[in-house]
Structure 1
């Protein structure tokens, strides 16, 4: 043997020994990952136990959850063969299982009562036995069918919650039990919803966020780096085949195109507005924040809560701002009315945002209203903050929320007067992915928590089996998404972008001006140039309050310029009972639909009239409050009362009322209206107070390409003039204009006096 070779052996041996030593250390480190590590930590559990009995909101939540879980344990464990849609027995039973399992896990950690661990173990092994031979779900409606549920989305819900339960009993289980569960249940489950269903998993969508979080969270518990990478970065199209591996034996990934990080980048604007709308932002916040919490605990080097300038934490405050005075989310795009920040997702979101976002005391007031916390480290932090008297009110103000990853795809402007005495929600956003509606420059109006002018929301009875298995109804497409279902302009009885997603997803409206500096006069204004080829729309909402009005009013100015003559319809979906009009109309003893397609087929034409004055008035009463719509009309306009419900044999739609201004054979035009809340009526005293409109006349004083001037005169004789610069929104621009031989000069976008 040569000296050189012997020397190499002497060098290699220490290197091999070092590598072996490092491997041993790495393996030991792998084995010593602490549990729990997702929503709970060992340190957090110790602190919770120390504070128990002294933190009222946490103690009360714990007692409620314990009572609920104990009742389920007494009933036994049921894992029926899947067969139902949402709302059916098997669907709801498996859903109930994962919710209770997650709660049992935290109870085991906090109370150390083994009955909770036994319950979870028995449930998991029932699923382990079932899953090995479980076929695809028999219901064929979904683009990605699950196994336990009719769609992979709900399977992902199951894994997100059950991974937390598994984490809580991980150390309590034997190594053999863990190996069996991971081999026969968790790993196949994660593979099925990801590699087995790339059309579901590899998207930018709330569905995929749930899938990414599910795979990532079970990966964190199992300490499976391959699953964690798959969660963060998605799977490449070249690797849908499960046999394709990278050099490390894992699946291939394409960063930036799919996965959790892509879903964090693309749908969120810099302010944290989620492009699908607040209803689905609420739904997606749970997997976003729960997985982020686990990543923070296990992989702090990722700094996930700092990603994209802390957009996840910002998004919680943004979402709270997208609610009315009662905490209910504005139903932009697909959204079920009544969903609010009292939901379990928002309890989690508020607690996590407080815990990881610098202990914003305003969030404590929301938590107080929710009156419960999550039973983990973040919930403890909330409970301690409330106990220590750190609560400050969460005050919602006027706000402009940009849409798009870079904040360059339109947005939503919210004008609020005072303590939400009047709130206007103006949508000039992007399409909103598959849950978007075709309603550019639409708005809804609220007085406190009451709708004055409504957005219909979605056509779905979520988890009510009677109605389409709890899924979206066909009327969501034929009505709710169509432009005529919203308070915005419809041209030639067709929807914006012809109601086609592939067209709408390419375009967004453009903000022209937003200003909330003066609480007595707030403005949001935007333009839309693509909804109808050759037509430009410019809509401006002005919320103003003066001594002339009992309450703030909303001035609505819609300027339309087109390359050809069209029929224009402008609907107002008022909430309440008609009291009075200043025009005559004829009602129809036999009803006919207003049109044949694009949502018109669902509207009964109840009555029709023509203007009798330059201003047409409609007054209605809702929840003891009066409202008046005063709108400038032309002699040839048609004034139509409509009622939803035509061509709806299964009664899937609400019988809501609408009022529509129709202007035919017109090229360029201007719609100007004012919505005025006023007075009240008490059925107890039977007194009607201030039941009539204060506005005597609205008049177009000037309308050119560059300027629009509107005067509003009250019954007391006072007149205010509002002038809008239509082509220069600069706050520094100087304007000079002569109207009726009087000169007006001002600095900025508008003049008001």
Structure 2
């Protein structure tokens, strides 16, 4: 046998070996292979001009990128915090690089590839000698940005751009970029910054995705493994904290798969809350798409019973009637599913998640699609009339990796939405707000959750970062519509205590057409005190709209002062009690109380307490069964806030002193309207004449509601037996009540 024949046989054996044992090798060499695929690009090109929504999205993106190309490339030396010029410029560049790469693939116009190449070469030249960012505030400093998080953002987007022009570049150009820019960049945010990377947190999710995506483009298995499983044999300081006060080490769990496993419940609820779930969904899903294209053997969209796709449905359900996400934990109000991350999420969910036609109605509202295989599929389905309404109903979302750490119940009836939070701490972005709630009417806040104290990316306000008032106010218990004992926040406001505990669901029922109800207990916020809160949205023909019934039962082994605030949104119309407006007065000294002015102070009348207000041209009335010994306080946020970092929001508070076991009962009623145009008020008075606690012991709590027409309704809660089939019998004021299950309403 000749030497030539031996070489041919040897090469054939190597080829067979590659086919058998390296099944992803061929796929990994094909580009694009992240959010776009070669076959997908061909299909997109074939449909150009035929699918309006996709064409419009493409035209808008082309106009934006063409304008920037005409202005030239700028990669300034980094020096600013969030919102500063250099920060904003490099952030803009990462979007432009990704968009220009997509345009090159779809339009096959080399000017976009040249633009990406030239900008990447400028970054390559800069990065070789770039020191750590000069701003030292972050627990993990980046190089292009003040924190590694933003460096990771950059690489997630830029890896897509590199993928799109990979075949356009010469081998020498690719080698320069990978040797001097991409590999060192990936190393810096991972092995050089383990306190950032080796975590279970939205920060590390971005880091994992960044390292993994550039690894997929470079066909670097070591980087892909580092992304999926974290850095091996890495020792961390278990007491170190991040910028938000959360502990960094998570019992050695790290990597992309751990970040899917730990924060998501089986229902898809993300423990940091919807604001940060929205932020994390982009790297979760974009990296997942890349893995699906390059490593289909991983079956990433099936991981943990398909939780990534479930999470999108959960996230959409965590939005109000206008699409704004409920500001649970650290959350900026106004963030909605119109955000670009949710455009990607909706399209990817439709494409990979079974073609749920309800998602198409969300995509229609968004008015844009992802310029990728999934976006084309969505645009085609909308064109073909497949869209159906996304139906938001009452839903109970569990928290914790196994769904056993409390949760969030969202009760919906007509225009009314109640968000009842009985979840775990929520990592470092969590608030001390066990059994808190917020209430909405047709997307408008009736009783609010404050959200976060931060002006994101506004440099004038703390460099766009979290303000100190986020800890002194927004996270504190008094900032929420929940019980505060002895002017002290839940778990003493300490993360290391709060992260060990969660509230427990007592029962949940959304099957009754008249009553949507959830009940939960908290036993650890204050040692020796059990808080049991039951909240129901009740629809009855005697009332114009569904109303909220709130029953909070407290059992304690000692006497305490209890404060129950209501942060209403609107202008006070009338009250049924006398009060005085004291001179300049601050409610307390710490735990958030130092930020509240006292604007009014009074005592309840013997008939209970009524406060009515006008908000967004609708009337609302709080009716509560107070004791004559209670104190009633009108408060206003803004004390001890010399830099005006807090909104001047109003509140009303019931204070009950020297109480051991006690129960608060309240109703929030939406009624009537006011027209500034016709200057007419309709149904401006409450339909409730009285609210009374008629029975309250260890086993049962009963509340009587009377309306202005003399109709009476009774709600009875079984406090110790939540079994759905258990029979109950109770006599109240000589009348017998019999029912099965944890509650009775009639």
Whether these two folds match at TM > 0.5 is yes
Name the SS for the 2:208 alignment partner. helix
Name the SS for the 2:292 alignment partner. helix
Residue 695 in 1 paired to residue 701 in 2?
Answer: no
Equivalent in the alignment of 1:179: 175
Matched residues in 1 for 2:513 and 2:373: separation? Answer: 40
Query: Do the aligned partners of residues 295 and 721 (structure 1) sit closer, same or farther apart at CA in structure 2, a change above 3 Å counting?
Result: same
Which of 333, 339, 343 aligns to 2:335? It is 339
Q: Compute the displacement of 1:747 (Å).
A: 1.1
Equivalent in the alignment of 1:425: 419
- Give a deviation string over 1:128-147, Cα, whole Å, max 9, x none: 00000000000011000000
Which of 521, 524, 548 aligns to 2:518? It is 524
Equivalent in the alignment of 1:607: 600
Q: Compute the displacement of 1:499 (Å).
A: 0.2
Q: Compute the displacement of 1:749 (Å).
A: 1.1
Matched residues in 1 for 2:416 and 2:7: separation? Answer: 79
Equivalent in the alignment of 1:546: 540
Paired residues for 1:82-231 under 5 Å? 82-231=78-227
Equivalent in the alignment of 1:398: 394
Which of 650, 654, 677 aligns to 2:647? It is 654
Matched residues in 1 for 2:366 and 2:26: separation? Answer: 39
Which of 573, 595, 611 aligns to 2:588? It is 595
Q: Which moved more, 1:652-661 or 1:613-622?
A: 613-622
Name the SS for the 1:738 alignment partner. strand
Name the SS for the 1:102 alignment partner. helix
Q: Compute the displacement of 1:593 (Å).
A: 1.1
Name the SS for the 2:510 alignment partner. strand
Query: Do the aligned partners of residues 16 and 37 (structure 1) sit closer, same or farther apart at CA in structure 2, a change above 3 Å counting?
Result: closer
Equivalent in the alignment of 2:245: none
Residue 293 in 1 paired to residue 293 in 2?
Answer: no
Structure 1 unaligned regions, length at least 5:
1-11, 241-253
Matched residues in 2 for 1:426 and 1:180: separation? Answer: 54
Equivalent in the alignment of 1:437: 431
Q: Compute the displacement of 1:24 (Å).
A: 7.6
Name the SS for the 2:456 alignment partner. coil
Q: Compute the displacement of 1:336 (Å).
A: 0.1
Equivalent in the alignment of 1:77: 73
Query: Do the aligned partners of residues 581 and 503 (structure 1) sit closer, same or farther apart at CA in structure 2, a change above 3 Å counting?
Result: same
Matched residues in 2 for 1:239 and 1:199: separation? Answer: 10
Does the Cα contact within 8 Å between 1:256 and 1:262 map onto a contact in 2? no
Number of residue pairs the alignment of both structures matches: 727
Does the Cα contact within 8 Å between 1:234 and 1:255 map onto a contact in 2? no
Matched residues in 2 for 1:167 and 1:671: separation? Answer: 60
Name the SS for the 1:751 alignment partner. strand
Name the SS for the 1:518 alignment partner. coil
Equivalent in the alignment of 1:636: 629
Name the SS for the 2:269 alignment partner. coil
Name the SS for the 1:434 alignment partner. helix
Equivalent in the alignment of 1:664: 657
Matched residues in 2 for 1:175 and 1:656: separation? Answer: 60
Residue 232 in 1 paired to residue 225 in 2?
Answer: no
Does the Cα contact within 8 Å between 2:347 and 2:378 map onto a contact in 1? yes
Name the SS for the 1:294 alignment partner. helix
Does the Cα contact within 8 Å between 2:31 and 2:163 map onto a contact in 1? yes
Does the Cα contact within 8 Å between 1:614 and 1:634 map onto a contact in 2? no
Matched residues in 2 for 1:557 and 1:32: separation? Answer: 59
Matched residues in 1 for 2:476 and 2:27: separation? Answer: 56
Which of 405, 409, 420 aligns to 1:409? It is 405
Matched residues in 1 for 2:591 and 2:9: separation? Answer: 74
Q: Compute the displacement of 1:635 (Å).
A: 1.2
Equivalent in the alignment of 1:460: 454
Does the Cα contact within 8 Å between 2:28 and 2:217 map onto a contact in 1? no
Q: Compute the displacement of 1:236 (Å).
A: 2.3
Equivalent in the alignment of 2:239: none
Matched residues in 1 for 2:251 and 2:636: separation? Answer: 50
Matched residues in 1 for 2:422 and 2:151: separation? Answer: 35
Query: Do the aligned partners of residues 32 and 611 (structure 1) sit closer, same or farther apart at CA in structure 2, a change above 3 Å counting?
Result: closer
**Normalising by the residue count of structure 2, what TM-score does the alignment of the two structures yield?**
0.96
Name the SS for the 1:338 alignment partner. coil
Which of 299, 305, 308 aligns to 2:304? It is 308
Which of 51, 54, 59 aligns to 2:47? It is 51
Does the Cα contact within 8 Å between 2:28 and 2:294 map onto a contact in 1? no
- Give a deviation string over 1:472-531, Cα, whole Å, max 9, x none: 000000000000000000000000000000000000000001000013211000000000
- Give a deviation string over 1:698-719, Cα, whole Å, max 9, x none: 0111101110010000011000
Name the SS for the 1:416 alignment partner. strand
Does the Cα contact within 8 Å between 1:233 and 1:256 map onto a contact in 2? no
Matched residues in 2 for 1:617 and 1:697: separation? Answer: 10
Structure 2 unaligned regions, length at least 5:
1-5, 237-249
Q: Which moved more, 1:154-163 or 1:538-547?
A: 538-547
Matched residues in 2 for 1:481 and 1:199: separation? Answer: 24
Q: Compute the displacement of 1:741 (Å).
A: 1.7
Matched residues in 2 for 1:729 and 1:618: separation? Answer: 33
Name the SS for the 2:681 alignment partner. strand
Matched residues in 1 for 2:509 and 2:706: separation? Answer: 24
Does the Cα contact within 8 Å between 1:233 and 1:255 map onto a contact in 2? no
Query: Do the aligned partners of residues 706 and 32 (structure 1) sit closer, same or farther apart at CA in structure 2, a change above 3 Å counting?
Result: closer
**Normalising by the residue count of structure 1, what TM-score does the alignment of the two structures yield?**
0.95
Q: Which moved more, 1:457-466 or 1:610-619?
A: 610-619
Equivalent in the alignment of 2:743: 750
Residue 352 in 1 paired to residue 339 in 2?
Answer: no
Equivalent in the alignment of 2:240: none
Query: Do the aligned partners of residues 276 and 32 (structure 1) sit closer, same or farther apart at CA in structure 2, a change above 3 Å counting?
Result: closer
Q: Compute the displacement of 1:325 (Å).
A: 0.3
Query: Do the aligned partners of residues 122 and 707 (structure 1) sit closer, same or farther apart at CA in structure 2, a change above 3 Å counting?
Result: same
Which of 253, 272, 278 aligns to 1:282? It is 278
User: Aligned-pair RMSD on alpha carbons?
Assistant: 1.8
Query: Do the aligned partners of residues 544 and 531 (structure 1) sit closer, same or farther apart at CA in structure 2, a change above 3 Å counting?
Result: same
Name the SS for the 1:517 alignment partner. coil
Q: Compute the displacement of 1:256 (Å).
A: 7.8
- Give a deviation string over 1:165-214, Cα, whole Å, max 9, x none: 00000001011100110000000000000000000000000000000000
Matched residues in 2 for 1:139 and 1:288: separation? Answer: 28
- Give a deviation string over 1:612-646, Cα, whole Å, max 9, x none: 12310000001110000000111110000000000
Matched residues in 2 for 1:423 and 1:522: separation? Answer: 10
Query: Do the aligned partners of residues 16 and 114 (structure 1) sit closer, same or farther apart at CA in structure 2, a change above 3 Å counting?
Result: closer
Does the Cα contact within 8 Å between 2:28 and 2:216 map onto a contact in 1? no
Does the Cα contact within 8 Å between 1:439 and 1:482 map onto a contact in 2? yes
Residue 515 in 1 paired to residue 506 in 2?
Answer: no
Which of 301, 323, 326 aligns to 2:322? It is 326
Q: Which moved more, 1:460-469 or 1:12-21?
A: 12-21
Q: Compute the displacement of 1:32 (Å).
A: 7.0
- Give a deviation string over 1:263-314, Cα, whole Å, max 9, x none: 0000000010000000000000000000000000000000000001100001
Equivalent in the alignment of 2:32: 36
Q: Compute the displacement of 1:16 (Å).
A: 7.7
Q: Compute the displacement of 1:362 (Å).
A: 0.3
Residue 557 in 1 paired to residue 536 in 2?
Answer: no
Q: Compute the displacement of 1:738 (Å).
A: 1.3
